[in-house]
Structure 1
Amino acid sequence: MIDLSWDSSRIQAYVAALPCFSGETHVRPLIGGLCNTNFVVSDKSGKYVARIGGDIQVHGIIQASVQNAMRAAGEIGVTPEMIHAEPGVVVSRYIEGRALTAADLADDGILQGWVARLSELHAGGRAVSGAVTHFDAFQTCRHYLRYCRAQGRDDLTGAADLVERLAARVGPYVPVLTHNDVVPQNAMVDTAGRVHLVDWDYGGFGHPWFDVAGLATNADASPEQEERIIRLYAGDLTPELMERFRLFRVAVNLREYLWGLVQDLSSGLDQAIVSAGMSALYPDETAGYSGYADMNRRRFEASLDDYRRHHP
């Protein structure tokens, strides 16, 4: 079994020897992750992605749940097939294509595919076998706030009360299978133009509109693009849907802001990997978790102002 404390060369050697590969293997790092270590593996049968990571208690990431969500998503057809799983290691088929960026919202074909994958995922909960986590954005924010306070961050006054006010406005809902980390780099478009969802660390059962709002706000969608996303997903654009979208847009931004703070306080991932990933994904921000937090703090403040303006 893999030991996550091994150095990179030993982990690569372990990955190369996994029984799912045949013949000579070539392993190279895959840059871009902010929470895991990833490799591209080539053997005589093709190319694969090996994702290395353990349970991360501070984020509620449990690898058994991650693997069950990923396996279900593969069965639904919204993510590449998982061909091997063991504690700490997941191997899936490699996508010949590229990660999405915020600019892809302007391509209506890609946008339709991205929203369609979310709709298919949300309708596919029966594919889950075994236990998966329940993702509650507001409980996540409560936990992050407690963690930050315990680490001496006392500059988040008012956030706890805001979380309770927002949570009280959600009302009852039917949980569906959700991704819960819908950022552009967690979706890819292949060479045939099909969009795929990737990275299932937070996959589980949750509120569908957290995913929908995440798609929009994590790509800095314009108001017109937001309306297009809502129509594609819900088939309509009503005041009730707009309020739900705006509420979850705030929740997404607050979660991402607090996630960045918590990662900055807790992560043991090699800083060089973090900096490289952040520079690749967000070149205009500080190359680290603090840069991710600052970016999402600005988004949070803007979306909260917008929500309060429309729904006092």
Structure 2
Amino acid sequence: MGELNDILHDLEGALGPLSGEPAALDGGITNRNYRVTLGGTDYVLRRPGKDTELLGIDRAAERLANDAAAELGIAPAVAASLESCLVTRFISCRPADPATSIEEIARALHAFHGAELRLPTSFWVPDLLGEYAAIASERGATLPAGYAQAVLVAARIEATLPLHEPRPCHNDLLPGNIIRGDEQGRIMLVDWEYAGMGDPRFDLGNLAVNNDFDEHDEERLLSAYRGSPPSDSERAALKLMRILSDAREGAWGVLQGVVSELDFDFAGYARRHFDRLAAAVADPGFEEWLAAARG
């Protein structure tokens, strides 16, 4: 707790005196999160894990994205930022059910994607796969067989859906990163550390696959995001971006298994996502999606 106490001491000058003891919060595979009370106000203090910059995380981009999202009313406000932590307002909340909140999430993402914001880092899965593999190999890791397939599949998807006109994106829409505030009852998105300039379609696919959306859910998502019924090309692009999301999650698990100090089954995490990718590619629909997405 020594380092945490030093951080809290530094924050007291800006946010007021500490009351009580920091309380560790559940969740978070990359960071350690604490609820703290400073100056009579509750905050969430997030401390990055070891070597998180190797995962493609840009802390300046995280701060800018969180600030922009807070201005749109879809994220807790940033209260302070130090080299060693990010502090946001604590929001009394409950877990959101993404499947019953699809339209609201779609509108939130559409608003963020349209923000006049240029983040200082990019997020594009085909590039990340190469970067993650190089770092893991340099540190003595043996890449699993699923990794090679993910790279090949990502290349095929990139050839069909190249990154044009990148927009600010969240890129990590896991269930735990979608909350509903108790006070106003609105959906909020948290954990912006993977934010970067990317493809808005990836956010939609990432949301869909990580929250087990079925085809009806996907139709609702695309319709709410576009403001009109989706085309076959848009439906196919969503399917492909679900696969690209699993490629990234699997590769992330491989690299985290090398660099992280957290007690977590990263190998199992990677395997589950590579297995789901393999199943999707084996589906006869995969080739149809590639053809349809070309429009």
TM-score normalised over the length of structure 2: 0.87
Describe how 1:18-33 pairs up with structure 2 within 5 A: 18=11, 19-26=13-20, 27-33=22-28
Find the aligned partners of 1:154 and 1:22 in 2 and give their Cα distance. Answer: 49
Counterparts in 2 of 1:120 and 1:61: CA distance versus 1, 3 Å: same
Check the 8 A contact 2:99/2:213 in 1, yes or no. no
Check the 8 A contact 1:20/1:83 in 2, yes or no. no
Q: Does 1:256 align with 2:249?
A: yes
Find the aligned partners of 1:77 and 1:305 in 2 and give their Cα distance. Answer: 41
Describe how 1:154-193 pairs up with structure 2 within 5 A: 155=145, 156-171=147-162, 173-191=164-182, 192-193=184-185
Find the aligned partners of 2:162 and 2:82 in 1 and give their Cα distance. Answer: 38
Counterparts in 2 of 1:29 and 1:114: CA distance versus 1, 3 Å: same
Find the aligned partners of 1:149 and 1:303 in 2 and give their Cα distance. Answer: 27
Q: Which runs of 4+ in 1 moved over 4 A?
A: none
Q: Tell me the residue number matched to 1:47.
A: 42
Counterparts in 2 of 1:141 and 1:24: CA distance versus 1, 3 Å: closer
Counterparts in 2 of 1:172 and 1:83: CA distance versus 1, 3 Å: closer
Q: Tell me the residue number matched to 2:259.
A: 266
Instruction: List alignment gaps of at least 5 residues for structure 1.
Output: 1-8, 275-287
**1:190-226: CA deviation from partner (whole Å, max 9, x where unpaired):** 1132011111111121100110111110011112111
Q: Tell me the residue number matched to 2:268.
A: 291
TM-score normalised over the length of structure 1: 0.82
Counterparts in 2 of 1:42 and 1:154: CA distance versus 1, 3 Å: closer
Instruction: List alignment gaps of at least 5 residues for structure 2.
Output: 291-295
**1:121-176: CA deviation from partner (whole Å, max 9, x where unpaired):** 1011x245xx5211111111222234445522252344333222211111352211
Q: Tell me the residue number matched to 1:75.
A: 71
* Partner secondary structure for residue 143 of structure 1: helix
Aligned pairs, number: 280
RMSD over equivalenced CA pairs, Å = 2.1
Find the aligned partners of 1:47 and 1:149 in 2 and give their Cα distance. Answer: 42
